[in-house]
Structure formats: structure tokens, C-alpha cells
Amino acid sequence: MVEAGTKDIDDDWSVILDTTDNFESKVASISIADTERTYNSLYEYIKATFKINSVISVLQIDNGDSKSIEIALSALKDIGKYEIDFKALWGHTIRNQSDDEDRTLLSEMVKYETTYFDRYVELLLKVRGKYQHKSYIELLDSLSQKNNERGFLAQGRSKKHPRRYVLGTRLLEALVQIQVLHLEGDKFITQSLSIEELMNNLRKRYGLIINGLEEERFKNVDIHTHLAFKENVEAFKIKLRQIGFYNDLSDAYILQKIRPRYELT
């Protein structure tokens, strides 16, 4: 948003889920790469937050106004216009230090920044960034229900098994219960759907990918990646059998359906 100068951007967020419950699976490395991309982007997210909050504060934008973010993003596109305001803020920050040693330390921390705006943001990163980064990692772990059957994130005890996106059994059960519900008129009914329909729905609604071969980023991939996603789809079917939603009683693909466990009356 900071680069675009607006919050109206297309964000097709998606991640590869490893459904095998195996840290050494073929798809694990792909899921790990997606997880690392998310967690490695935290620094830039925190920096962008500091930039927006700094502009809101210095320009005295009402942060209670729903348009405050849009106003701040617009200002960031031409931040040079407000350099004199950030020069005053930087001067105030330096004067507030109790002795010359502290003032020198602050100047050393931002000596490679060329504008007062960049100096102020860099100072915030140096002073608060580490704590914020640690807190956001803990937040993502908590929201993702790490190492919990209700979640979609797993991490082993060894460094060989870093974070990767997975699909907890309890989470899968909840998602499938939602997918087999359909609105008919003014009431809900349950309805069967195919494995492909279920995977497509999870991708479109939640950005959760089981079979990534139709994704643009996996076009023209090697045989190893094809085998990884094939293994992942088979593991997905096994999970569905375990929770009682799927029985492939026939070799006919058209008969392989996700069937509701309960009927609404």
C-alpha cells in the first residue's frame, strides 16, 4: 500500500498447505517457502506501519477518521513536501535527550539516512522494531493455532523442521461443514461436491492451496513438484476419509464425492 500510495490494491493472498502430516514430505519444502515469505515480510510491514503512523502524527491527521490511512498513504507518495515538518520533529527528538552522548548515539543510529523522514522512521525501527517483530511472530503463531489440530501452521522442535502451512483435522472438518452448506431460497441445505470443487472453493474463498499445479507460479515446474502436489492431494483425501466425509467406493471419478455427514431438516 505504501508503494502504491493507496489501500485499494489487488491482494490475491494464497499459501500452499502441506496435508501429509510429514515434515519430510515432498510438498513440505514448498509450504515452508510460502511460510518464510509471510514471516520474512514482517519487517517491511512494521516499517510501513511506522511510516504511516509518523505521517498521521506529524500532519495531525485524525486517526479516528476512516479516511486517515488513505490520506497518509497519499502524503507518503510525495513525502518530500513535508521534510520541514520532519526536520522539526527530528530536532525536537534530539533536544529531548539528556546529554550529548545520547544525542551522538541517536545520530550514529541513523547516519546512513539522507532525509529527516527516513531518519525518524529508522530510529523507530532501531528502538522498537525488534520488540514489534517478536510480538508479530507470536501473534501469527497464535492466530494460526500453531501445532494444533484446529490450526494451519506447524513447526518441529528441530531447526530442520521450520514453520510450514498445514491443515489441522479439526480445521478441515469445520471448513468442509461450511462447504457442503448451500443456500436454497430462504433456507440452507446440504449438498455433495467433488474433491476438485472442494479444493477450488478453499483456494477461492480462503487462499488455501492443496494442488498448486493450476497456479501461475507453478507453470512449467519439474517432475518433483508434480509428484509433490500429487502426494498432497492423496493425503488430503486420506484426511477427508478420517473425518468421515469421503468414501471413494468407485474408480469412476464422477462418483468420488464429498458427502455431508448430516442432513438439515
Q: pLDDT tens for residues 195-210?
A: 999 999 999 999 999 9
List all residues 6 or more positions away from 117 whose beta carbon is below 8 Å from its beta carbon.
54, 79, 82, 83, 86
Contact yes or no for 153/144 (Cβ under 8 A): yes
pLDDT tens, residue by residue, 136-153: 999 999 999 999 999 999
The predicted model scores a pTM of 0.88
Tell me which H or E stretch contains 16. strand 15-16
Rounded CA-CA distance 173/239 in Å is 9
Q: How far apart (Å, rounded) are the C-alpha atoms in residues 84 and 188?
A: 60
Task: Give me the pLDDT at residue 265, please.
Answer: 59
Q: What is the pLDDT of residues 33-42, one digit of tens each?
A: 999 999 999 9
**Predicted pLDDT at 4:** 78
Long-range CB pairs of 213-219 (<8 Å, 24+ gap) are 215/14
SS3 of 193, please? strand
- The whole-number average pLDDT for the span 156-173 is 95
- Cβ neighbours around 245 below 10 Å, total: 21
Domain ranges for the chain: 37-146, 167-258
Q: At what angle do helices 223-242 and 28-40 cross, to 10 degrees?
A: 90
Residue 264 has pLDDT above 80, yes or no: no
The per-residue pLDDT of the chain, averaged, comes to 91
Instruction: Flag whether pLDDT at 102 surpasses 90.
Output: no
| Cα separation values, 23 from 18, 33, 88, Å | 9, 13, 53
Work out the number of other CB atoms within 10 angstroms of the CB of residue 191: 14
> Is residue 165 pLDDT above 60, yes or no?
yes
Nearest Cα neighbor of 79 from 3, 13, 154, 143 is: 3
Q: DSSP per residue over 125-155, as a string?
A: HHHHHHHHHHHHHHHHHHHTTTTSTTSSEE-
